[in-house]
Each structure stands twice: as structure tokens, then as C-alpha cells.
Amino acid sequence: MDNNKKISIEVSDDLRDTPIRVAYVKSHSSIAVERQRDEEVMTFPHLIIREALLFQLLLIVMVIWSLFIDAPLEGIANPEFSPNPSKAPWYFLGLQELLHFFPPIVAGVLLPALVIIALIVIPYFSINWDRSSMWEGNIRKKFFRLSICVVLFNIPFVIYKAAPLYVCSIIIYSFMILPLVFRGKNGFMRRISRLGLADWIMSWFLLVTTVLILIGVFFRGPEWRWIWPWIDGIY
Amino acid sequence: MKYYDKIMKGRIARSIFRTGLPTSNYRKSLVILNNLFLHIHPVKVKKSTLKFTSTFYLGALSFGLFIILVVTGIYLMFYYHPSVPLAYRDMKDLEFAVSNGKLLRNLHRWSAHAMVLIVFLHMLRVFFHRAFRPPKEFNWVIGVFLFVSTLLLSYTGYLLPWDQLAYWAVSVGTNMMKATPIIGDDIRFLLLGGNVIGENALLRFYVLHCVILPLVITMLIGVHFWRIRKDGGLSSGSKQVADGKRDMILGKNLGVSTEEVLNDRDAEK
């Protein structure tokens, strides 16, 4: 992109030699801006040395972790005796927790499939990823649309009494409308008012996943009853 | 240092490391270009992507964990029989009879858990930095498949110790599968090699865990890395991404300054 042609002003009386040109830029059209290229460095050694160090560090951390904490091993598998509760690996405990609220076809098939499909279509869904922050333009209209969508979205969760899901929705929704209530100019408010809708949806997904897994790991005991880990221990 | 130089410039060393010592930018670029394992990298990288906060090195960490898992996994295969009473006895052997067997198993198990977490965090990083924008849309999709493969690998490995934890955790999962309309029972039968979790299920999970899924994930990792290259390098999420001037067919960034490298080469000739 190095454009070394210098712009110079020629002055002459002869119109055939230097015709007068007028250029104007309309307010809607953008001006071509020449951007600086990113500075580049040699991969060897700059990146390779970082990768090597990172791997060493990772190995050290993993070995220390493995030296001090043993992987769990219980008695030999016995199909006759099922432990109470039987828990899936932690990364599936969110799904198992959903199973507590929804029929198996929803929690075990529909929701995971929807999550995977949603993840796949993310890059194809919207072209305007950066431009639209939440509260620009017609704020009143946007607020009503958002509120209606949130309510409709959460009706099934309320019907099935899936408290963790709609509580997470309420939390995220409150954060979304926070910039409308407090029009503060401080860092945090400005930051969250700039987040786009996509960020909020992903934050909701992240919050729901984390909360469900934490509940599944720490707060569920025999018969999948609610327990307090500091009283009843971890199952 | 003198001897080191002598050895590295000697005939044998030069036959192995054709590049010679990376003293100039030209030779530094040859280090990458002439090496099968390193040439997945470009010769030059954007300085902004090296910053810790631009990627948190999560992709590299995931790959590092994968390497640890492959190595410890192959090690574990020497001591493991995928059959019903033996599988559990092998766990006990690893604990009490095999030297460092416990460490080996711990390392494999904790790395597997860590990998699930790190891959998920990697996905979040890419999302919040919008690093999936064109032309990288499909690499994101491959990434989603990689995440699913990671979960499946971890899940199939979960059954192999054949203890109560493994058995009932897998029961919970495979019972969920039954809920799939029409084909639910068939999928479960296919996966377990029967209607209950028994010898056949263990063997199937073993083959999936040690052969099929590692092959799948290795291939996907290869494509994932290759496409990062072809799509113009990492995105750091910083706003000053290189200009949009891209080769429309190859998707590569054009206009990378190779002058420095070429000058070096000419100077050496």
C-alpha cells in the first residue's frame, strides 16, 4: 500500500496544461483511508520461541498438577448397583441438569443440537458485526422489541420451572438495560453500552453453561435434590 | 561456542539442518520454509498477534494439551486391555505396579479435562474478538467440529477405566441418546454393540477413543491450521487488521514486504 506519489499543487495559467478540478466529499460517502500495515516480525525466532516456552510451561503445570492430585478411581463397574446420584462428566452436567427440568427429548437431543447449529451459523448470521451497538437510534422502539423478545424467549423456561435459565436471562437483561437507567459516563457503563446484541447472546450462553455446570457439580445430591456443598459435601 | 560453530558448519550438521545457523533474516526464513513441522507457519507474523492478550495463546495451549494427550495416551495403551475384568485391573496395575503409572494416568486425565476447558475458552476468545469474520467463516465451523470431537474423545475415554464412575457416567449419557426420535435406540445399539454397557461397549469405546476419533481430530486440526495460513494469519481482535487487499482466489494477504528477506539473500550471494 506504499503510495509514494506525493501530491503537489501545480499552478499555471494555461488551462489546457493544468485543468482545474474540484473534488468534494459527501457526508455519507466514506473517504478512502490509507491504513498502516501491521508491523511484522520473523516467525523464527519470535513466534517459535514463544511456542516452545509455552509448551514447556504447560507441561510443567500439568505434571505438577498430576503429581499432587490423583485422578479419581472408584470400585469396579457394577451394573447391579447404581450410585446415587449418577453424574455424567462435568462438561455434560449442564445437560444432565437440564434433564431435571425438561423431557429427555428436549434436554438430551433438541437443546444440544440447537446449540451446535447456533454455533455453526454464527459467522454466517450477520454481516454487520461491529457497527451496531445496542442503544443507538430509536431507543424506545429497541427497548420494547428487546423486552418482548426476552419475555417470549423465557416463557418455556418459566413453564417448565427451569429457574437457572430464566434467572440468567433476567441477569443478562438487567445488564443490557443498565446503560438506559444509569447514563453514566464512567468506564464500565460506556463499555457495556457499546456491546452488540451478539455479545449479549453469547454472554447469556456462557452464563447459563457455567451456572448449570456449577449447579450440577456442587449443588446436586441424591435423587438430584438440591444440596449445599458446605453442609452435605460434594457428590 | 567455537566448537559449536565448527560442528554446525560441518558436513554432517549441514546435511541434517540444510539451513545453517539462522544468522540472517534470509536464513531465519529458511528455518521455517525448510522444516516439515514449522512450515505450517508463515515466515513472518504480525507483531500484534504475538501479544499475550490478543490470543491468550489458547489455540496453542489446546494443541499442546493434545500433544501431551497423544503421548501419554500411547504410553497408556501399552498397559491396557479393553476387556471387562482386565480393564479395571490394569488401572490398579497402573496405580501400584507400573513405575510412574499413576502419574501417567493422572497426566492423561487432567490434560483431557483441561483440553475441554481450554478449547471452549479458545472458542470464546475467537467469538469476542470476531476472529471468524470473512474469509474465516468456515474455519470457525471446523473449530466447532473440533470442539465436538474434543468432547467425544473425552467422553469415550471416560468409560475405559471401567470403574463405577465411568460406568454410570456413560450410562447417563447413552440413556439420553435413547430420547432421539425414531433412531435413538439404534444409535445407542450401534455405539454400545448391544443393549447394555458391557464388553462390546468397552471395545467400541476403546476403538473410537484410540483410533477413529484421534484420526478425525488430527485431520481437522491439520485443516484448521492450514486455513489460518490461507486466510491471512491470526486475527488479534485489534482494530488495525491489515488492509482488506486480499488475493481473492488464494485468500492470502498480498503485499507482504519480502524486500528485507530478498535483500539478505542477495547480500549472501
- Is B151 near chain A, with CB under 8 Å? yes
User: Chain B residues with CB inside 8 Å of A119's CB?
Assistant: 123, 144, 147
By Cβ distance, the residue of B65, B140, B169 closest to A89 is: B169
Q: What is the DSSP string of A17-55?
A: TS--------SSSPPP-PPPPPPEEEHHHHHHHHHHHHH
Cell numbers at A159, concatenated: 413453564
Neighbouring C-alpha atoms within 13 Å toward the C-beta of B261: 19
Positive or negative, the Cα torsion across A38, A42, A46, A47? positive
Residue of A nearest to B156 (CA): A89
Q: Do B180 and A48 touch (CB under 8 A)?
A: no
Query: Strand, coil or helix: what is A85?
Result: coil
Inter-axis angle of helices B199-207 and B184-192, nearest 10: 80
pLDDT of residue A160 exceeding 50:
yes
Distance from CA of A78 to the nearest CA of B (A): 6
Cβ neighbours of A155 (radius 10 Å):
10
Closest alpha carbon within chain B to A90: B113
CB A38 within 8 A of CB B47: yes
Residue A75 dihedral angles phi and psi, to the nearest 5°: -65, 165
Partner-chain residue, chosen from B61, B169, B197, that has the shortest CB–CB distance to A54:
B61
Three cell numbers written together for A36: 498502516
B105-137 pLDDT tens trace: 999 999 999 999 999 999 999 998 888 887 888
- Using the Cα atoms of residue A52, residue B139, residue B73 and residue B153 in order, give the sign of their dihedral: positive
Number of Cβ within 10 Å of residue A27's Cβ equals 4
In tens, the pLDDT along B159-172 reads 999 999 999 999 98
Alpha-carbon span B143 to B149, nearest angstrom: 10
C-alpha cell at A81: 448397583
**Which pLDDT tens digit goes with each residue over A128-137?**
555 566 777 7
Are the Cβ atoms of B158 and A89 closer than 8 angstroms? yes
Q: What is the pLDDT of residue A62?
A: 97
**Chain B environment of A63 (Cβ under 8 Å):** 103, 107
For residues B45 and B242, the answer to whether their CB atoms sit within 8 Å is: no
Q: What angle do CA A184, A187, A189 make, to 5 degrees?
A: 45
CATH architecture of B55-236: Up-down Bundle (1.20)
β-partners of residue B44 are A42
Q: Chain A to chain B, count of Cβ pairs less than 8 Å apart?
A: 203
Whether the pLDDT of residue B146 is over 90: the answer is: yes
Residues of A whose CB is below 8 A from B122: none
- Look at B179 and A104 and tell me if their CB atoms are within 8 Å: yes
Per-residue pLDDT band for B259 (boundaries 50, 70, 90) equals low
- Is the per-residue pLDDT at B250 higher than 50? no
Instruction: Encode pLDDT of A1-29 as tens digits.
Output: 445 555 666 666 666 666 666 666 665 55
| Among B residues 32-71, those touching chain A with beta carbons less than 8 Å apart | 32, 38, 41-48, 50, 57, 60-61, 64-65, 67-68
Higher pLDDT pick, A131 / B142 = B142
CA contacts within 13 A on the Cβ side of B42:
21
Whole-structure pTM value: 0.84
Q: Which of B138, B142, B127 is nearest to B58 (CA)?
A: B127
User: Is pLDDT larger for residue B268 or for residue A45?
Assistant: A45
Name the one residue in this structure whose C-alpha cell is 458485526. Answer: A129
Break chain A into its structural domains and give their ranges. Answer: 42-71, 90-232
**Residue B144: burial class (beta carbons within 10 Å; 0-12, 13-18, 19+):** buried
Measure the CA–CA gap between B158 and B181, rounded to whole angstroms. 26
- Angle (nearest 5°) at CA A230 between A228 and A234: 75
Residue B261: pLDDT band (50, 70, 90) is low
Distance CA B42, CA A188 (A): 38
Which of B219 and A14 is assigned the larger pLDDT?
B219
**With contacts defined as CB-CB under 8 Å, which chain B residues touch A130?**
130
Residue from the list A67, A78, A105 with its beta carbon closest to the beta carbon of B103: A67
Q: Which of B46, B136, B241 sits opposite A40 (nearest CB)?
A: B46
Interface test with A, best of B109, B122, B168 (most A CBs within 10 A): B168
| Contact: B124, A202; criterion CB under 8 Å | yes
3-state SS, residue A197: helix
Q: Which of A43, A63, A202 sits opposite B45 (nearest CB)?
A: A43
Which of B46, B127, B159 is the best mutation test for A, with the most CBs of A within 10 A? B127
The kind and range of the H/E element at B144 are helix B137-159
In whole angstroms, give the CA distance from residue B220 to residue B119: 14
